[in-house]
Structure formats: structure tokens, C-alpha cells
Chains A and B, each alone.
Chain A
Amino acid sequence: MDTFLQQIINGLTLGSIYALVALGYTMVYGILGLINFAHGEVVMIGALTALAVIKPLAGAGLPGPLALLAGAAVAILVCMALGFAIERVAYRPLRHAPRLAPLITAIGVSMVLQQLAMIIWGRNYHSFPALLPATPRELGGAQITDLQIMIVVVAILMMAGLALLVNRTRLGRAMRATAENPEIAGLMGVDANHIIALTFVIGSALAAVAGVMVSANYGIAHYNMGFILGLKAFTAAVLGGIGNLAGAMFGGILLGLIEALGAGYIGDLTGGFLGSDYQDVFAFFVLIVVLIFRPSGLMGEKVSERA
């Protein structure tokens, strides 16, 4: 089996998921300058909600793809409501507070969501049923499953949709204007509160889809799955240049590839000294190196230090 091609396929799958989550981080950061630490938990809630819908449906004999679709739809709605509520309750009152206050709040929200999920779904790992045919297809010596194809295709479609929304519609123009300068945008008749709430809602919808994907991909969902995933996705957003949509997509895919290739080759590179346990080190190490040489990310614009 061709390791290189196989790791590229795995990396693209993982990277698509990272990219979807990273978009949520980067959209919020672009408009509010806030690291929304709770975003990873939204992904987790999306995964567990979808699972709660899928299990009985699949048990009742509904075909796998349909059950998956239904689960994703419910998860999207729940996460949209959740994203809206988080913004309204936790972040909006802090719009003009010192910079660290919203960050601490985000950490608090993240803890609350995690524990609520634990109370609802318990401490156990839930297995995610295999809903798509599991027989892999041969591709140039490597294997690719239907699920992996679906993840990459859906991610690309969603990112294309978002790009269209942001660049081609009236709403997108309002979003870009608010990101540029909320006050001036307000003077031009843009309702900044409305736009910010919408940003959270859209980001949360993407997160819900990513949550379904990641738990389907690994076959597992857990109340604790959001934090590390969120961290990786945030890393991806920073890698690409935070606040920049294309950067988040690029950074996500890149991080997925780096991780997959790093995990595949780190043993060979270091003569067996470091194993694939160091996968995460690899991701963070690359991030640090990139930031040292390109402090505003790979695709970020040069931004002057904000006071």
C-alpha cells in the first residue's frame, strides 16, 4: 500500500474537518477580535445531537445516508440556536470590555457546555454507527472510503457556499463591512448586532456539520471531544492567517496534511526515536515556526500591532 498517497487522503479528510471548524473561529475573530474558545464545544454538541437523532432512526431501519442527513439537519438547527444564545448571553454584554474578559468568558462557556453535555450524555464514549458502505475503493495503491469522499465533497461545497455568501451577496458585504469597522458600517445602515449574531449562527452551522463528520470518521463521539479539536482548528486558522476566510480553509487542509504525513513519517525521520504519539507536537511545532517567520500567518495581511 502506498503510504504517501494514503496519508494524503487521510490528511485531506482530516483537513476538511479542521477547515470547517477553523472557519467558525476565523469569522468570529475577523469581526470581534475574539478567540471563541467555546467553538470546539459547539462541534461536540453537534456530534452528540446528531448521534441522538441517528441512533433511533437507524435502529428503525431508515437507510444510512438518510439517517445521517436527518441527524446532521437537527444538529445544524440545535447548534445554530446554541451559537446564537452564546453570543447573546455571554459575549454581547462584553463588547467594550477589556480584551481578556471575553476570553475568560469563552473559557467559562466552554466548561459549562462540556459539563452540560456530560450530564445529558454521560461520561461514556458513544460509538457512531457506520451508515455508509464501509468497503474502501482502490485509488492508485491507496484506499479511500465513501465516507472520506463524502466528507471532502461536503466540506468543499460548504466552503464554496460560504465564499459565495460572503463575496457575492448583500449580507456578505455587510459582514465584510462590519469586520472592517463596525461603527462606520453602522453609519452606512448595517445593523452590527444582527450581523454579529448571524456570524455566530453560520459558524455554528459549519461546526455542527464538522462534528457529524469527525464522529462519523472516527466512529466515536464523546463529551470531551470538542476541546482538542477546537484547539487544532484554531491552530489551523492562525496558520492560515486569522480573520481571513481563504486562510482558514487553506490552514485547515494544510494542518490535516501535516498531521497525517507527520504521523506517517515521523518514525522513519527520527530513526524510530519519536513515534506517532508526537503527531500533536508536529502540528504545534509547525505553527510556531510559521508564526516566527510570518507573524500574521501564511495568508494574513500585514497588520500593525493593536494597542
Chain B
Amino acid sequence: MALLDIDHLRVSFRTEGGTVQAVDDVSFSLEPGEILGIVGESGSGKSVTAMTIMGLTRSPNASFAGRITLTGPDGATTDLLAASNHQLESIRGARVAMIFQDPMTALNPVHRVGDQIAEQIRAHEPVGKRAATARAVDLLRRVGIPRPDERARSFPHEFSGGMRQRVMIAMTLSCSPQVLIADEPTTALDVTIQAQILAEIEDLRAETGVGVLLITHDLGVIAEVADRVAVMYAGRVVEQGDLRTMFTDPLHPYTWGLLGSVPRIDKDRPGRLPTIPGAPPSLQNTPKGCHFAPRCPHRFERCGEVPPLEAADATAPGHLDRCWLALDTKRKVRIVNGTIGLPAASPAGADTAGVR
């Protein structure tokens, strides 16, 4: 049994403009000690998925379907979607912890960071204030904050962005969680600091065996630390597989487009950047069938139906994608100017042959 299993999750919100289907049939699982990267652009549903795991999207206007199963160290399972608010309170922070993009808004500006970490410890464990504070100092030391006993008495604004993110990590560590959800943890940081924080997350995984759900829009970050990757587009997982496969043998046209449109410092620069034409669809009015079809140069009639998320190559059962194109066709058409990318337009009718 996986540590965390998301099974056919659907999340929609009622808004004035109509129903927004933010997460549309998403399934994946996370093993202990694994870093699963979730990549997608804004509006792909990656953050809503993460927040739903934490029970942070519950509202009178939200509706949910599916199951989110968390397996405890003793083998007992809990459905986080069906859990009561009271149950969730004891799980949040203790068994599932979260790091946000902007640590300044996630920390309370009027409390000293040591007190904030101690409060978190005392919310979940019956320990005294003094003991909790001592543990907070230890945690700050562990995440690499210099002079931790002094710094525990500082306020969040007295830290730099990178140090603040370390404080957040220290806080999530306080109750030894099984699952760590990191939502764009390095997006607001400078590259040299980003490298430090990513190294910190890797060390943590190695030391504690925590399962990490790393949400990012940056394929570089994914390549550095993830073990497996799920690519999301307009509320759906469109492709999923282990890291190497996703970068060397991507099977969904959207993944090709993503890989192709990132400028790289390790390659010759192309005259023009390859792009994905158009923009992601509105989630109030998603296209029928494949959500990527309107932007896909390889679309054909069949794309009006929703493709299933399944393995295209029987020899790689862990590599799933949501696309109707035949495997051979995909491997042929994804090469643009010698690298993987999405061609601007397809030669008419050339790739509709060979449906899977």
C-alpha cells in the first residue's frame, strides 16, 4: 500500500461565472522516501490537488469526488477526503506537512519564529513550553540556521527569504511528518539559495524517509530532485513516469512542448524558442475530450473523446499518458530540430495515421 494514494480525485468550485472543474479525475500515489514532482502551468490544478490533500479547499462552494488515502506507520488507512475537520486537524502538520511558496505570508509576522515552531509542537504533542522551545532551537540548527538559539528569538521579517524558507522547513519537521507537500518551495528564491533549499529537502528525505510531493512549474527543479514526475494540464494528469523516462521518452505532446520551450544554458541557443501555440483553456469551459487538443498540432477526430491515462508501451507499465496517438507515431513526430519539442504546425494528415 502506498503512503499516499490519490484515486480519481475530482474537485470543482461553484463560482459566479459557472462551475470551475479545477481537478478532473487525478490519480497518483506516493511511496515513503520518494520525491514525486508535479509539474504544470498556472491553472493546471496542481496546487488545488495539494491543498485538497491538506483539506484546505473545503468550502460550501467546493465539491469533491474520489479518495485520498493516507496509510499510517501501523498500516491503518484514513480517507482524507472523508475525514472530519477534527480528524484533519490532528493529521495536518503532524502526519502531512506543507511548505508554501512564500514563507513571509505563511509565517505569523508578530510572533518570534522559535515560539511559532514550539506552538506547532505543542499543538500535536503533550510537551511543556520549555521543552518545545528547546526542540525548536534544535530544529533550526538542523536546517542550517546559524546561531539557532539567538535566531529563535527573531521575528520572520528579520530573516532573508532563504532563511525564512528554512524556518518553514524546520516547522514542518517538528512533528516528523510522513508526507511533505512542497508547493513551489523555491520559486520566490534566488538561484543560489534555491540550490541550498533543494539540497536541504533531499537531505531531509534521505534522513527521515518522508515522502515528498514537490509542486513546481520549473522542469529544472524537477530534474534535480524528483524520482518520479506527473505532468498536469487543465486539471488532469496528462503524463506520469519515472524521471529519466519523462525526459528521454516523453509521450504526451504537452510534455514535448514544455520540454521544448524552456531555454537551456547547457545547449546551443536556438534562433527562436519553440513555443506551444495558444493558451491553456478556461477551467469553466474546458474543451470536450482531450484538454490539450485545441493547442495540439497532432490532433485528429478521436481527440474529441477523453483519452484514458494508461501505459502506451507494455514494456514500461509505470509510464502512463493521456493521448490517442499511436506509440510509434509519437516517437516519430516529437523530434523538432534534433531535440524533443512540439512542432508549430503539423503537415496535414501526416500523423493521424496509427491510432493507439
- Our verdict on whether A and B bind, yes or no, reads no
A contact residues vs B (CB 8 Å cutoff): none
B contact residues vs A (CB 8 Å cutoff): none
